[in-house]
Amino acid sequence: MFTVVILSDSARRIFARSEAFFAPFVERGEIAFCEWHDTARDARALSDVLPDLADTITGKAAWRAVVVDHLTPDAIEDRDPENPFDYAGNRDPDLSFVESPHPLVEVAHWLLGYPALTAKQFSPVVVWRGDDGQLHREAPEAEVAGMDPRDQDAALAAATQRLAGAKQQRYTDVAVQYEEIPHEAALVAEHRRLSEKYRMKEVHPSEVAFVCTRPRADDDETAQLRRAWQVGSERDSSRFVERNDYPVASRFAVYDLLNSENSGYAQDELRFWMSVLTLATNELPPGAFQADRVYELGVAINERRLGDLLEEQVSRLTALRDHMDSVIRRPSRPPEADAQTLLIQEPVTVEFDRLGGTDVGVSVTGYALASDIPRHEPSFWANDIDAASARAMQIFRRPRRILARAVFDTRRRARSFLDHDRVLNDIEREELDEELLRRVQGLAVPATTEILNRGRLASLLEEHRTGVARHIAGRMRLRTVAGASLLVLLAWIGAFAPYLIQAADKGMDALLWSAFTVAAGIVLLAVVALVTLEVMRRRLVVRVRRVNDDVQSFAAGVNDGAKVFGEYLTGLATYMRARSILIGSERWQERETLRSRRLIAVRDNAAESIAVQRDILYSLGRAPDVRRINLAMSEVDELNPHQIRSYFRFPTGDRTAVLNDSGQTIAAPYDFITAFLVERVRLFERSPREQLPGGRETE
């Protein structure tokens, strides 16, 4: 049956040296270990005390538990040295109706439930049939009222017999019946609360065995004689189960463990854990290990088989220790490359379609001397600049897509760098880190942030739109030019009319000369007007041509920005590749550090196991004969925990062990175990005068 082994903190402290013997049975799924928070107080659920139990027994139709405790010297004062399951101060055999302060009792409640509520006590009643044919009852309790409680039971029994004898002389059907006296309602409610608290929601264990060590003591003749007189005497057997509120069906076993300073302690500790392992891997016959009794456990060992097994194991662990030590001491790799060698260029090419700016320019033709001939210039300009702006935004979107694709490719390439680790030593990592720190300053703020700024282009075009429109608004229309010319002509003629009249009086020659002079002035004024209008037209054309120049300059900046972008992304990719080398090296170093720690832990564990097993061999009177085993590098995978654990494993046995002297046999976990001893410990209740106030026995 599947067995869950539950160790207290004190038991776990002496378990490490024998854990390897349990490992094969854990791997085969025959037993499992469950953590026990034996120092937890005010636990409200099973998971607070046994957090792993629910997961451990999941899927198990039936299981049993073996709870192991180690009685340390500082805990002896709280327990009976002869029976470590009996706590000092628990003298009342009646149910206490309180949560036990003792972890061992509490875990028993969590596993088996709180003890059932029994009758408080039974009161004797004499029943007889009277002359009227009716049944009559009478209790003799009044005769013992006020007596010493220690004498009441005997006095009540005597009074009951006397009353029954007296009634038999006169009446028939005389009998003594015992009526149950129930507990108070408050105690019944408290018992219901405790029962609900400790009610297990999982599959209940079929049995729970409690195993505890006790200090081995050399009894003097007086103690041995006293126990001999107790056996078979009128004294009652110990009622520690009732006094400590252990649930029914609890099984108890002790092991007399040598003092840790004794030279044979290592072997005796191994015997103790082999006793626990044998109990955990076998279901004993009911008669050999009964509930509510205390048994002493032990195993008989074939020392030759044990010695051979330990020598073989010491040889294997010695080879493993030496191999691990050689791997740990292996010298590190010398420097191979400097930082500049590691900073391999990662070129990123960025090429834009050549943008001359002509495709997005505005027309510089079609502007005449007046703003409304041969077409309406404000409308023409508005339509032309709108079309140019739309074309510019459409054309300059292509470089943004090209740049986005280049950035994406750079990121993808950077992610591919992370898949490769390069081994660097401390000097190489330091040099590379310093060089990257120097380079990252140039990458912090790229110089290309404004090259593809569409907002800047839109702002530029809007500025030109407003300026040209304002300039066009200041030009004259054809009607204005004609009207102004006519007014100037009339004013000129009017100004020279007196001169012409005076010239006419002087003769035809004078008149013709004067008319020629006036006409020449008119022609000159017309030429000046035309020149003025042409200058205004040319200023407008220059303003419009400036739009195209600025757009072409912006396009040239974008074209030149491809190289700038390429250089920036090349520097960034180179930096990211070098950074990935550094990160990969640090990751490798972390793995190497962790690997080194694991190797050191394996080496130290092997050395500790060798020391323990040597002590056991010496306690057997056998000097270790260590054979030399050479482990090739290919034979040991230092990072394979399963393989490493195999070096610490012992080969399990296929023999049987004798159970006591009954002739029955059980499965022996290992071949060196030849017998399993389960002997009952005779325990008796002590009288009050044998108890000290703390529950200790008097001398």
Digit-coded pLDDT (tens) for 284-318: 988 899 988 999 999 999 999 999 999 998 998 88
Residue 219: what are its φ and ψ, rounded to 5°?
Answer: -75, 145
Minimal CA–CA distance to 8: which of 113, 114, 108? 108
> What local confidence, expressed as pLDDT, does residue 436 receive?
56
Give dist(CA 335, CA 428) in Å, integer. 7
Q: pLDDT band at residue 80, thresholds of 50, 70 and 90?
A: confident
Give dist(CA 351, CA 428) in Å, integer. 36
Are 321 and 603 in contact by the 8 Å Cβ rule? The answer is yes
> What local confidence, expressed as pLDDT, does residue 282 receive?
94
Which helix (H) or strand (E) segment holds residue 312: the answer is: helix 303-328
Tokens of 462: 């809007």
Lowest mean per-residue pLDDT among 142-151, 165-174, 462-471, 574-583: 142-151
Are 268 and 260 in contact by the 8 Å Cβ rule? The answer is no
Indicate if the pLDDT at residue 61 is higher than 80. Answer: yes
Indicate if the pLDDT at residue 660 is higher than 60. Answer: yes
Residue 156: partners with Cβ closer than 8 Å, 6 or more residues away: 124, 140, 141, 143, 144
Give dist(CA 127, CA 171) in Å, integer. 10
Give dist(CA 667, CA 659) in Å, integer. 10
Indicate if the pLDDT at residue 109 is higher than 50. Answer: yes
Tokens of 373: 């001939």
Stated length of the chain: 699
Tokens of 205: 């264990």
In 496-565, DSSP assigns E strands to none
Indicate if the pLDDT at residue 264 is higher than 70. Answer: yes
Are 650 and 313 in contact by the 8 Å Cβ rule? The answer is yes
Give dist(CA 273, CA 299) in Å, integer. 10
Taking CA atoms, 144 is separated from 119, 141, 557, in Å, by: 21, 6, 119
In the DSSP assignment, the letter for residue 201 is S
Amino acid at 698: T
Are 68 and 103 in contact by the 8 Å Cβ rule? The answer is no
Coil, strand, or helix at residue 154? helix
What percent of the chain clears pLDDT 90, i.e. is strictly above it?
Answer: 21
Q: pLDDT band at residue 377, thresholds of 50, 70 and 90?
A: confident
Q: pLDDT tens digits for 492-532? A: 667 666 766 676 666 677 767 777 776 777 777 777 777 77
Give dist(CA 278, CA 652) in Å, integer. 12
Task: Please tell me which residue, 675 or 550, carries the higher pLDDT value.
Answer: 675
Are 653 and 668 in contact by the 8 Å Cβ rule? The answer is yes
Distance, C-alpha 272 to centroid of its chain: 36
Angle CA 252–113–288, to nearest 5:
25
> What local confidence, expressed as pLDDT, does residue 252 receive?
95
Domain boundaries, the chain: 2-113+194-302+671-690, 121-181, 339-611
Indicate if the pLDDT at residue 429 is higher than 80. Answer: no
End-to-end CA distance of the chain: 45
Give dist(CA 237, CA 229) in Å, integer. 13
In the DSSP assignment, the letter for residue 425 is -
What is the mean pLDDT of the segment spanning 234-246? 79
Burial (CB count <10 Å: 0-12, 13-18, 19+), residue 698: exposed
Minimal CA–CA distance to 21: which of 685, 621, 676, 668? 668
Distance, C-alpha 649 to centroid of its chain: 30
Looking up tokens 């029955």, which residue turns up?
A: 664
Q: Which long-range contacts (CB under 8 A, 24 or more apart) does 489-497 make?
A: 489/522, 489/525, 492/518, 492/521, 492/522, 492/525, 493/518, 493/522, 496/521
Indicate if the pLDDT at residue 561 is higher than 80. Answer: no
Give dist(CA 308, CA 313) in Å, integer. 9
Q: For the residues of 428-460, what is the DSSP string, one character each?
A: HHHHHHHHHHHHHHHHHS-TTTTTT-HHHHHHH
Instruction: Give the chain's radius of gyration (CA, Å).
Output: 54
Give dist(CA 170, CA 78) in Å, integer. 57
Q: How many CA atoms lie within 13 A of 530 on its CB side?
A: 6
Q: Which long-range contacts (CB under 8 A, 24 or more apart) does 607-614 make?
A: 607/321, 608/17, 609/17, 609/20, 609/313, 609/317, 609/648, 610/314, 610/317, 610/318, 610/321, 612/17, 612/266, 613/310, 613/313, 613/314, 613/317, 614/314
Residue 492: partners with Cβ closer than 8 Å, 6 or more residues away: 518, 521, 522, 525
> What local confidence, expressed as pLDDT, does residue 119 receive?
63
Indicate if the pLDDT at residue 392 is higher than 80. Answer: no
Taking CA atoms, 627 is separated from 307, 611, 630, 649, in Å, by: 14, 16, 10, 18
272: how many CB neighbours lie within 10 A of its CB?
Answer: 24
Which pTM does this prediction carry?
A: 0.63
> What local confidence, expressed as pLDDT, does residue 148 receive?
60
Give dist(CA 275, CA 278) in Å, integer. 5
Q: For the residues of 232-296, what is the DSSP string, one character each?
A: TSSSPBP-HHHHTTPPTTEEEEEEEEPPTTSTTHHHHHHHHHHHHHHHHT----TTTS-TTSEEE
Task: Please tell me which residue, 434 or 661, carries the higher pLDDT value.
Answer: 661
Residue 679: what are its φ and ψ, rounded to 5°?
Answer: -115, 135
What is the mean pLDDT of the segment spanning 451-471? 72
Q: pLDDT tens digits for 159-188? A: 777 777 777 777 777 787 776 777 778 888
| pLDDT, mean over the chain | 77
Amino acid at 491: A
> What local confidence, expressed as pLDDT, does residue 508 receive?
75
